[in-house]
Structure 1
Amino acid sequence: MAYLTQPDYVKYVCSCGQLKPITSLYFCRHCLKIRCGFCICHEVDSHYCANCLENMPSSEARLKKNRCSSCFDCPSCFHTLSTRATLAQPRQPIQDVAAGGDAKVENKQPKKMYYLSCFNCRWTSRDVGIPDQPVASGGWPERSNPSSTRVNQLLDYYKAIALQEKQEKLERERKKFAIRGKYITLTDKTGLTGAMARNIAGLPSSDGGSSTAIANFTASQATALLEELPEDIFSKDVNLKQITSMPQRLASPEWQPVSVSRLHPLAKLLSVKRSQRCRVCDHNLTKPEYNPGSIKFKIELLAYYHVPEVKIISYETIKAGEKSALLLKLTNPTVHEMQVRLLQPEDVPEVEEREEPKSIEKSLEKSLNLEKDASSYKAIERVPNLSACSRVTVPSVTLTVAQRDDAAEYDDDAQHDTNDIILWRKSNKLALRLELTTDASVATGTPANAALTLQYSYRNTVPPSGAATQHRDHTLYTTILLDLGTVNAYSYL
């Protein structure tokens, strides 16, 4: 007998055909479908630093290049650097003995200074010559990239080209939809564009200086002159402790230091709080709190809280052409009583998706809001390849699973039924005794899989739009694939 408690041995079939564990799936309460990470749209809600929990808007994060200004990572081992304090003794004046003057020794208090240190690899900012700072947060010197001027010129040039192409596209669209004989303004009749009118009147151009940036841009010139290699490059001993590794160089793409003495603290990257949205109905599946220190969610539609969970308790050795026992545990995660029935995957009826009647208001709202087109999503839907070599003998009864009760988790008494199918009951859990039949033509060592479909009742607490507040019960289907190891030629004692 093998006991399996890991969730990856039981995989659910998503609406797009992917096989995922229940902990990686979402459940949309509006379209009543199971969604995986490929069926949802990810949106960034806020940016924050995971170390100091400072929250900042998207515009500020874009200006700071998605990095925190007060937290740093170690350039050697990439752990978070800590600020250490030290006392710096001020310098005493040197007495001029030759002049015969008496120098007054001032009693100055030692000044507190701060430096960065890594508690993992013992790297400090003093190792690369960064001076200590009088303040604990901020004020650390920033390295200037020698190619920053050229990079800014390239950015301005490509922005000007993008703006020019956008204006040309707007002009073509305006001429395409212009109606002959009916002119709204004088420029439509004469063909005089706004930019030409401003140039004739002597006014500055309205393109934001894009033409100037394109005219003043100097293209890069390729050269064949390269710096020669040192003479002792092949004879000099290499000290690996003084040469940076490839991850250390790629962590600073602007400088890519070769020597360890050129490593500088790395500004910590910002983290994001993201929300997931269903691609079909465009409703939120998860939405976190705005506070970066909060781990709660405003909306958290995970499949773990809405779809019945199936776990493998134990199973006998799978042998070709023979029958074996299988014990499953079924859990109802909802607060409503659930009716569950086991079916074969080919017995699932095809449910036709009913389309909502289209109206002028809906069409206008879709054109104004630029609603996502779901045609590309429907194109990638595929039927999963459920290559199961074992077949589960499903009972022709409907099982009733009680609702979830948090207080009943502390009750250790399980009700043992005399039914041939139900092994025991406990709160919202149910143990089933099933029978597996393996195909005789299966070779030894082939992965032993079994497919099963759950027909369960779900009470939707979200009322439809324009209807009264009432709960509706739905009959849903979900297909699971059980991983039962491999097919063996003999049984273990």
Structure 2
Amino acid sequence: MAYLIQPDYVQYFCTCGQIKPITNLYFCRHCLKVRCGFCICHEVDSHYCANCLENMPSSEARLKKNRCSSCFDCPSCFHTLSTRATYAPARQDPAAGDAKVENKQPKKMYYLSCFNCRWTSRDVGIPDQPVASGGWPERTNPFANRFGQLLEYFKAIAQQEKQDKLDKERKKYAIRGKYITLTDKTGLTGAMARTTAGLPSSESSSSAIANFVPSQAKEEVEELPEDYHTKEVNLKLITTMPQRLASPEWQAQLVSRLQPIARPLSVKRSQRCRRCDHNLTKPEYNPGSIKFKIELLAYYHVPEVKIISFETIKPGCTTELLLKLTNPTAHEMQISIIQPDEVPEVEEKEEPKSIEKSLEKSLNLEKDTSWRQVIERKPLLPTTIKLHKPELSFTLAQRDDAAEYDDDSHHETNDIILWRKSNKLALRLKVTTDEEAKVGSPAVAILALQYSYRNTVPPTANSPQTRDHVLYTTVAIHLGTVTQ
């Protein structure tokens, strides 16, 4: 497992300028761009409990405050609590004496126990329950009503400010005889648009603001006990800061007042490209499945670069670098190594706006389209190490899973190509270090790959009709530090 903690020596440049390993990048087959975690939009598909694998819709998860009702975490060590069974002693009737027993058979009862720190629900006085799951009492916060009033008040203020801003923009760009949005043309009022989008009306927002009672500070504050500064403190009886922050509604000060923490729900999320709004990853709905319906990772579409070996990097010296290229696709790939400055800049065209999208934008007042803006930045490339570009293009065969078990490799006599094996290729490249490079500075070699890609997505009206494309990617290879 040592490879899991090793640093990433080969990193790829995203279109936004971020440098990430190929396992952390995505590839959009519609706009043919490499995307990182900052260039995609994350959407929640389903909520589920990671312990019992119970799946629930978003509305139910919102009502339960994104907590599972049957699974709990230990408030002391945050380990998952287990349900233990015990038998309650039979109750006796005091009027009839010891001879008459009300229940001859003992009743099975359940309590929560932690296998890690040995904390139990009996330690804090929680009575045993006759049901294994779903019967544990829930505490109600005495300030729940006040929290609800504050939440409604701030929601109303945010809705009112957004509506005022929208009205100002409409008045600013209003032109006589022309319609700005479809709501103006069809006569759809703002109230009907809010009702269609499922938003609260303006009357309810104004009433929530008018009926709100602000908080008032008290002039008299309860005094501290006399022995507050002289009383001896036992740290074993006082909760720690992580234990208090685990339940922010209560924040128990004593260990004897800790309560089981309902386990937070996990989510399955899908990811979309911010530019073209197509899915990059989409998991299965079943929480017990780890498969994906759509999984467009860059690892399966972009040629992979690995370091075989390299010599010591010294200022003003030319050294050799051995790399291995892999074709992960199911089609042949033509690869050429070029300088990073030779990568052409391609301007992305905006998609034409359809009537359906304009209508959706006019009806949904809460929709924010700022997440579609992908800022493309050209990466800052170091100039201490220069790569000698080979005047040769390579052809890599398609990926073949059965060829992984074949030990035969074809060795070539070329000075650049060392050997070939299935969809893999080993290269010998030369890099020259600048004479002014400081000793101890990081040695990073930058190269660009020009490769052919065959798109298997069916063409649409907005996408290009051609299947074969020539794409570019920039790779940063970390070769340690510059030595003497």
TM norm structure 1: 0.84
User: Structure 1 residues 409, 218: closer, same or farther in 2, change over 3 A?
Assistant: same
Q: SS of the residue aligned with 1:149?
A: helix
Equivalent positions of 1:134-149 (< 5 A) are: 134-149=130-145
* Corresponding residue SS for 1:8: coil
SS of structure 1 residue aligned to 2:459: coil
- Letter matched to residue 79 of structure 2: H
- CA pair 429-160 structure 1, distance change in 2 beyond 3 A: closer
Would the aligned equivalents of 1:4 and 1:313 in 2 still touch at CA under 8 Å?
no
Q: Which residue of 1 aligns with 2:356?
A: 365
Report the equivalent of 1:242: 237
Give the aligned partner of residue 304 of structure 2. Answer: 309
Q: CA deviation at 1:58?
A: 1.0
Give the match for residue 281 of structure 1: 276
Matching residue of 1:111: 107
1:204-255 deviation line (CA, Å, top 9, x unaligned): xx87766665555432111232222222222222211111111110111111
Q: Which residue in the other structure is 1:227 paired with? A: 222
Give 1:11 shift: 0.8
| 1:166–1:9 CA distance, 2 compared to 1 (3 A) | closer
1:21 — aligned with what? 21
Q: Residues 355 and 464 from structure 1, CA distance in 2 versus in 1: closer, same or farther, beyond 3 angstroms?
A: farther
Question: How many angstroms does 1:466 deviate by?
Answer: 4.3
Q: How much does 1:347 deviate?
A: 1.8
Any residues of structure 2 matched to 1:46-125 within 5 Å, and which?
46-94=46-94, 103-106=99-102, 108-125=104-121
Measured after TM superposition, the shift of residue 309 of structure 1 is 0.5
Q: Is the 8 A contact 2:90 2:106 kept in 1?
A: yes
Q: Distance in 1 between matches of 2:463 and 2:449?
A: 30
CA–CA distance in 1 between the matches of 2:15 and 2:24?
A: 13
CA-to-aligned-CA distance 1:382-408 (integer Å, 9 cap, x gap): 221111411121211111111111111
What CA distance in whole angstroms lies between the structure 1 residues aligned with 2:29 and 2:250? 50
Distance 2:115 2:70 in 1: 18
What are the within-5 Å matches in structure 2 for residues 3-402 of structure 1?
A: 6=6, 8-94=8-94, 103-106=99-102, 108-159=104-155, 213-214=208-209, 216-353=211-348, 358=352, 362-370=353-361, 377-378=373-374, 380-402=375-397
Q: Determine the C-alpha separation between the residues in 1 that align with 2:371 and 2:463.
A: 32
Show the 5 A alignment for 1:337-486. Answer: 337-353=332-348, 358=352, 362-370=353-361, 377-378=373-374, 380-466=375-461, 472-486=467-481
CA contact (8 A) 1:94 1:103 kept: no
Q: Structure 1 pair 159/471, CA: closer, same or farther in 2 (3 Å)?
A: closer
**Which letter maps to 1:479?**
T
State the shift of 1:149 in Å. Answer: 2.4
In structure 2, what residue type is equivalent to 1:133? Answer: Q
Relative to structure 1, the CA distance from residue 393 to residue 242 in structure 2 (aligned partners, 3 Å threshold; closer, same or farther) is: same
C-alpha distance in structure 1 between counterparts of 2:462 and 2:441, whole Å: 53
Partners of 1:161 and 1:108 in 2: how far apart?
63
Supply the AA of the counterpart residue of 1:76.
S
Unaligned runs of 5+ in 2: 178-189, 192-200, 362-366
Inter-partner Cα distance in structure 1 for 2:423 and 2:175: 67
Q: Is the 8 A contact 2:313 2:443 kept in 1?
A: yes
How far apart, CA to CA, are the structure 2 residues paired with 1:57 and 1:269? 15
Does 329-338 or 423-432 show the bigger shift?
A: 423-432
Residue 201 of structure 1: aligned partner: none
CA distance, structure 2, for counterparts of residue 391 and residue 400 of structure 1 = 24
The CA deviation at 1:146 is 1.6
Please give the alpha-carbon distance, in whole angstroms, between the structure 1 residues aligned to 2:459 and 2:273: 17
| Partner SS, residue 262 of structure 2 | strand
Indicate how the Cα distance of structure 1 residues 90 and 174 shifts in structure 2: closer, same or farther if over 3 A, else same. farther
Between the aligned partners of 2:463 and 2:297, the Cα distance in structure 1 is: 26
Q: Bigger shift: 296-305 or 368-377? A: 368-377
CA RMSD of aligned residues (A): 3.1
TM-score under structure 2 normalisation?
A: 0.86
CA contact (8 A) 1:388 1:448 kept: no
Give the Cα–Cα distance (whole angstroms) in 2 for the partners of residues 471 and 10 of structure 1.
31
> Aligned-pair distance for 1:95?
5.5
Amino acid in structure 2 at the alignment position of 1:12: Y
Inter-partner Cα distance in structure 2 for 1:58 and 1:5? 36
| Larger CA Rg, structure 1 vs 2 | 1
Mean alpha-carbon deviation: is it higher for 148-157 or for 237-246?
Answer: 148-157
- The Cα of 1:461 is off from its aligned counterpart by 0.6
The residue type equivalent to 2:8 in the other structure is D
Give the partner amino acid of 2:271: Q
SS of corresponding position for 1:408: helix
Calculate percent identity across the aligned residue pairs: 73
What displacement does 1:45 show? 1.0
Aligned CA distance change for structure 1 residues 7 and 334 (closer, same or farther; 3 Å): farther
Q: Which amino acid aligns with 1:306?
A: H
- Report the Cα offset of residue 354 of structure 1: 5.3
Q: Write the distance in 2 (CA, Å) between the matches of 1:460 and 1:355.
A: 20
Structure 2 letter corresponding to 1:45 = D
Other structure's SS at 1:484 match: strand
Q: 1:414 to 1:269 in 2, by over 3 A?
A: same
- Tell me which residue corresponds to 2:184: none
The CA deviation at 1:422 is 1.4
Give me the whole-angstrom Cα distance separating, in 1, the residues matched to 2:368 and 2:334. Answer: 36
